[in-house]
Amino acid sequence: MTDAQGRDPEALSRFVERFAAQLVEAGMPRMPARIFTALLASDEGALTAAELGAQLRVSPAAVSGAVRYLAQQHMVTREREPGTRRDIFRVHSNQWYEALGNRDSVLKRWEDAMREGVAGLGENTPAGRRLTETLAFFEFVQGELAGMMDRWRAHRALLFDED
């Protein structure tokens, strides 16, 4: 059995649940993981709340909470369907870049917290040395992230023939 686009709905459902489970293992809440994967696997990269609810067999409240979380993580956007009052939830075409790029501010806050911890606990205490190493790691990642994102943009342009 196939849908209007010639796809197997069961294969789609299996993919959504399997990849969502992997996102959950990585720390994402279950419902946002399912919603995100359903959007990612949709041809338009966008679905209404009703479409998401029907596909995933979940309540409108579950969809609402999940898309709120995903929007806060910069993984989806909410748009108004032209001519209606219905919202459409869209996954970014470059969603992984966006999500990772927005981690920059999180890393900065973690660095600030580590600096405070080192200052408060003392550099030469066992805890202070551990925090100093953690701070060094965050600073390293922060420095590498910018270069990695630049390299990804160049690589993506080559792969997908973009200017």
What's the one-letter identity of residue 108? K
pLDDT at 149: 85
pLDDT in tens, 16-59: 999 999 999 999 999 999 999 999 999 889 999 999 999 999 99
Token duo for residue 134: 């953690």
At 49 the pLDDT is: 93
pLDDT in tens, 63-118: 999 999 999 888 899 998 788 888 899 997 777 777 676 677 788 889 999 999 99
How much is the pTM? 0.74
3-state secondary structure 57-88: CCCHHHHHHHHHHHHHCCCEEEEECCCCCCEE
In this prediction, residue 4 carries a pLDDT of 66
**Residue partners of 91: CB distance under 8 A and separation at least 6:** 36, 39, 40, 45, 46, 75, 76
Of residues 99 and 161, more confidently modeled: 161
Distance (Å, whole) CA 52 – CA 19? 16
What does the radius of gyration of the chain's CA atoms come to, in whole angstroms?
Answer: 20
Span 122-143, pLDDT tens digits: 999 999 999 999 999 999 998 8
The dihedral region occupied by 97, where left means phi > 0, alpha psi between -120 and 50, and beta the remainder, is alpha
With cut-offs at 50, 70 and 90, classify the pLDDT of residue 5. Answer: low
